[in-house]
Amino acid sequence: MTVTDETDEALMARYGRGDVAAFELLYRRHEMRIWRYLERNVGNRATADELMQEVWFAVARDATRYEASARFTTWLFTIAHNRMIDSIRTGRRHTSLETLGYEAESVVAQLTADPGLGPLAAAVTRDQAGALLRAIETLPGEQRQAFLLQVEGDLSVEEIAAITDTSFETTKSRLRYARSKLRELLKDYV
Amino acid sequence: MNEMPPSKDESEDVDDHYRRVSALDPSRPSEPVRRAVLEHAARLAEERTAANAPAKISSTRPARHRSWWRPAAFGTLAAAALAGVLIAPQFLTPRAPPKSASAPAQVSQPKAAASPEAPVEIKEQLSGSAAAERTPAPPEAQGNAAPASDSAAAKNAPTKAQSMAKVENTSKARSGAATSNDSETDARRTQTITSPASRMLAAPRAAAPVPQELAAELRRAAEIGDVPTLQSLLGRQPVIDARDESGRTALMLATLHGQAAAVDALLARGADPNAADARGMTPLQAAVAGNQPAIVAALQRAGAR
């Protein structure tokens, strides 16, 4: 087994024993998933940056208390979700859709600036990215959280229900309605 | 909300589209954040390695020196046995009983020992090193009195230790009251020690987590609503209003996460109901924002503004 084949849980155990390289590998593996979960929920890069730091600080701090009985990704996304909810409750996260729209447009602008894309591909990508981000933005918060936990964290309905402190049926319903709405909004692309 | 939920295949289409577009999303955390996270992780790992180092040495030492440790132990036992053989004849030799009414005289007379007063007298005369000297009593002098003296010594020893501990506690408490709050805390802590056993049990407390770690554990327990752990931590006299990097106390975190029982426990132990976080938000404001009426009521009862 190579280092990169090691499970998240094994890497976490190694970091708990003081192996920094194991933590760096874990961070690289999950950095973007956590980042997208946070950024697409809070809609603000500065806040997402703050939360990102808090989440990974918490992972590092609690490494010795982490029990491998729970999947690492479940534990990680639980921390991320709780921090994000904290942020919303304390008012650190803005809830303005206008600002979120601004951020989304900024991402789209970056996509079009990718020199690897031809003019047509860039236009298609820009349209798709813009449509997707706007569609996610329009989802109700609870549906958005459930959907992002599933697509970014690969979490089961049971795991999402536990993280969001809701019933299995409610979570299932949120996921269905989130996808239904996204499908409707993205019908030209999907 | 009245429309039919999509089928599984349709869901997969949406997920695939999301992943395809997300893969092209160049948005990522800022470099300073990434650096800060990795540096923090490295620092914590170093601290853990340093903290574990002495334990590793102590755990390997017995194995490394086992070949020396065993002969040393057996040698000590052999020396003790030899000493016993040399000293025992002195006690075995019959002696004329002393004329004074001292304990050995009474001990050497089984009849006297059998009387109800004898154990009391023996007990009274046993003290400190005298009690230790009496344990290897001559066999013929033991009779019924020897077990009585042993049990008396056994009963007496902890009693003495307790009284010594109490004297020590009293003096510490007095000096503590005259000096500072820290020594008052010490005095309070030592007052709970009433025997050598409890003193030994109390010793690991000195090696307990440093205040910051204790406070962090307290905040964590409050955040997840682990009330038994919270109560246990509160019993270890943490800095109850210690703050995390965002200026949040344990009470604030319990409030944010709707942990009403944890809020009650913290308020009962004197947590500041008005301790605002770095952004100036108070627990009461957080409870109102989070629609937590029970916590709002508890905070108001505790004097939150």
Q: Which of B169, B184, B206 is the last residue of a domain?
A: B206
Q: Are residues B284 and B242 in the same domain?
A: yes
Which A positions 32-51 lie with beta carbon below 8 A of chain B? 32, 35-36, 39, 45, 48-49
Q: Are the C-beta atoms of residues B97 and B140 closer than 8 Å to each other?
A: no
Higher pLDDT, B31 or B72: B31
Instruction: Please give the C-alpha separations between residue B136 and each of A19, B86, B105, in angstroms, as whole numbers.
Output: 57, 13, 16
Would you state the pLDDT for residue B117? 40
> Chain B interface, mutation test: which of A11, A20, A38, A124, most B Cβ atoms within 10 Å?
A20
Give CA–CA dist B96/B104, Å, rounded. Answer: 11
A20 touches chain B (CB under 8 A): yes
CB contact under 8 Å between B10 and A183, yes or no, is: yes
Total number of domains constituting chain B = 2
Would you state the pLDDT for residue B151? 41
Amino acid making up residue A126? R
Residue B21 lies in a domain: no
Residue range A82-136, pLDDT digits in tens: 999 988 887 754 444 334 444 555 555 555 445 555 666 666 667 777 888 889 9
Residue B69 lies in a domain: no
Range B276-290 average pLDDT: 78
Instruction: Please give the C-alpha separations between residue B122 and each of A1, B152, B163, in angstroms, as whole numbers.
Output: 74, 8, 19
- What distance in Å separates residue B68's CA from the closest CA in chain A? 31
A155 touches chain B (CB under 8 A): no
Residue B121, pLDDT above cutoff 90: no
Q: Are residues B185 and B254 in the same domain?
A: no
Q: Are residues B181 and B269 in the same domain?
A: no
CB contact under 8 Å between B13 and A132, yes or no, is: no
Q: Are residues B120 and B196 in the same domain?
A: yes
Q: Which of B185, B206, B227 is the last residue of a domain?
A: B206
Give CA–CA dist B149/A139, Å, rounded. Answer: 84
Q: CA-nearest residue of chain A to B39?
A: A20
Residue B243 lies in a domain: yes
> Chain A interface, mutation test: which of B12, B25, B244, most A Cβ atoms within 10 Å?
B25
Sign, Cα dihedral of A10, A15, A16, A19:
positive
Q: Are residues B257 and B290 in the same domain?
A: yes
What pTM does this model have? 0.47
pLDDT-based confidence at B157, cuts 50/70/90? very low
CB contact under 8 Å between A179 and B14, yes or no, is: yes
Give the domain extent around B144.
Answer: 108-206
B56 touches chain A (CB under 8 A): no
Residue range A145-182, pLDDT digits in tens: 999 999 999 999 999 999 999 999 999 999 999 999 99
Strands (E), chain A: none
Share of chain B above pLDDT 70, in %: 49
Residue B106, pLDDT above cutoff 90: no
Residue B241 lies in a domain: yes
Residue B222 belongs to domain with CATH number: 1.25.40.20
Between 1.10.1740.10, 3.10.150.10, 3.90.1150.10, 1.10.260.40, what CATH number should domain A1-94 receive?
1.10.1740.10
Q: Which of B157, B184, B206 is the last residue of a domain?
A: B206
Range B65-94 average pLDDT: 70
Give CA–CA dist A128/B142, Å, rounded. Answer: 100
- What distance in Å separates residue A74's CA from the closest CA in chain B? 16
CB contact under 8 Å between B27 and A110, yes or no, is: yes
- Which candidate, B208, B275, B268, places its Cα nearest to that of B242? B275
Residues of B in contact with A40 (CB under 8 A): none
Residues of B in contact with A52 (CB under 8 A): 29, 33, 37
Residue B171 lies in a domain: yes
Radius of gyration (Cα) for chain A, nearest Å? 18
Residue B216 lies in a domain: yes
CB contact under 8 Å between B22 and A18, yes or no, is: no
Residue range A79-88, pLDDT digits in tens: 999 999 988 8
Which A positions 122-151 lie with beta carbon below 8 A of chain B? 125, 128-129, 132, 150-151
Q: Are the C-beta atoms of residues A177 and B1 closer than 8 Å to each other?
A: yes
Residue B219 lies in a domain: yes
Residue B53 lies in a domain: no
Q: Are residues B225 and B149 in the same domain?
A: no
